[in-house]
Amino acid sequence: MIEFKDVSLVYPNGTQGLKNINVKINDGEFVVIVGLSGAGKSTFIRSINRLVTPTSGSLLIDNEDILSYHGKNLRKLRTKTGMIFQNYNLVKRSNVLKNVLAGRLGHTGTLRSILNLYKKEDIGLAYESLKRVNIEEKLYNRADELSGGQQQRVSIARVLTQQPNYILADEPVASLDPPTSHQVMTYLKKINKEDNITTIVNLHFIDMAMEYADRIIGMRAGEVVFDGPVSEVSEQTFEEIYGRSIREDDLRGGANKS
């Protein structure tokens, strides 16, 4: 369970990234955060694995305040929270398997990982993860030989190999075309259901948010301005979150027919 209690974050340059956030995310939920560019979606998500550190309030994960974590505690927290990025963030010159095995870093001793002495189970796990996103045949390809959609699937496999309790995805489909976007979201949703991994996704496409989310959190200027199940969300809700009428480019299109 993730619980934001009156969390605020002011960046060193004075920008208010988060403003008095109070949100509780239950285990197994699939939450989509929507909001305009600069609304604070990334800041919200990156607070959870402490890539940024809120400046006040408390953030509880599994009933422990993570804001005071550093060193070993922090790394342990991060092994529990897998992250997926807009730009996939793979090591382009390394092959797919090595990229996926990097998901085990937090669970592997420094010496072992530097000497590539992964446990047999770990390598098996990496291969299984690749199979789950149907990209196991690219095992030994260099990451930069893959298409954007394939790279994002590899990064999902990396997160799966990490065996996290939470998955954080920051605009995972912003660099992909509509069919590939739906494919990636479908994988995330499937993993959420099958493994019961709490998943938080930043999106700015309204139609995708509606299609995949259980629950939608709307942000504007660092504040949560909407929080409710997808069934309560209408076009008007989005207009309130965005503070303007809905436009063509707020939609990804190419709804998933399969």
Partner 1 sequence: MTKEKPSLTADKTPSIYPAKTKMQVTLIFFVIIGIYLFSMYWTQREMVGGIGGALGNMYVVIEKFFPPNFAVLPAIWEPMAQTIQMAILATTVSAILTVPLALLSAQNVTTFKPLYYLTRTFLNILRTIPDLVLAVLFVGLFGIGLFPGILALIVFSLGILAKLISETIESVDMNPMEAMRASGGNTLQVIWYALVPQVAPQFASLVLYVFEINIRASVVLGLVGAGGIGLILNQQLGFYNYPNAMAIIILIFVVVIVIEFISNKIREALL
Ligand X SMILES: Nc1ncnc2c1ncn2[C@@H]1O[C@H](COP(=O)(O)OP(=O)(O)OP(=O)(O)O)[C@@H](O)[C@H]1O
* Shortest distance (Å) from residue 94 CB to Mg ion: 26
Q: Which residue is nearest to Mg ion (CB)?
A: 42
Q: Examine residue 106 and tell whether it contacts ligand X (CB under 6 A).
A: no
Beta strand ranges found along the chain (DSSP E) = 2-10, 16-25, 30-35, 56-61, 64-65, 81-84, 166-170, 198-202, 215-220, 223-229
At position 83, the amino acid (one-letter code) is M
Among 94, 141, 175, 186, binds partner 1 (CB under 8 A): 94
> Strands across the sheet with 215-220, in order?
81-84, 166-170, 198-202, 30-35, 215-220, 223-229
* Residue 255 CB neighbour total at 10 angstroms: 12
Q: What are phi and psi of 148, to 5 degrees?
A: -55, -45
What is the Cα–Cα distance from 72 to 258, expressed in whole angstroms? 44
Residue closest to 19 by CA, chosen among 33, 30, 4, 37:
4
Map residues 63-102 to x or -, x wherever contact with Mg ion holds by CB under 5 A.
----------------------------------------
Q: Examine residue 172 and tell whether it contacts ligand X (CB under 6 A).
A: no
Q: Examine residue 218 and tell whether it contacts ligand X (CB under 6 A).
A: no
What is the Cα–Cα distance from 13 to 15, expressed in whole angstroms? 6
Identify what 158 binds: ligand X, partner 1, Mg ion, none; CB under 5 to 8 Å per kind: partner 1
Among 40, 57, 82, 218, binds ligand X (CB under 6 A): 40
Q: Examine residue 89 and tell whether it contacts ligand X (CB under 6 A).
A: no
Q: Examine residue 41 and tell whether it contacts ligand X (CB under 6 A).
A: yes
Which window, 16-24, 34-42, 134-142, 218-226, contacts Mg ion (CB under 5 A)?
34-42
**Residue 137 three-state SS:** helix
Q: Examine residue 17 and tell whether it contacts ligand X (CB under 6 A).
A: yes
Which window, 30-38, 102-110, 133-141, 207-215, contacts partner 1 (CB under 8 A)?
102-110
Q: Examine residue 103 and tell whether it contacts partner 1 (CB under 8 A).
A: yes
Give the nearer residue to Mg ion in terms of CB position, either 42 or 237: 42
**Residue 101 three-state SS:** helix
At position 122, the amino acid (one-letter code) is D
Task: Please provide the DSSP assignment of 80-91 as one string.
Answer: HEEEE-TT----
* Shortest distance (Å) from residue 53 CB to ligand X: 11
Q: Examine residue 85 and tell whether it contacts ligand X (CB under 6 A).
A: no
Residue given tokens 């990396």 in the structure block: 158
Q: Examine residue 42 and tell whether it contacts Mg ion (CB under 5 A).
A: yes
Site size for Mg ion, by CB under 5 A?
1
Binding site for ligand X (CB under 6 A): 11, 13, 15, 17, 35, 37-43, 204
Binding site for partner 1 (CB under 8 A): 49, 51, 75-79, 81-83, 85, 87-94, 98, 102-103, 105-108, 110, 113-114, 155, 158-159, 162
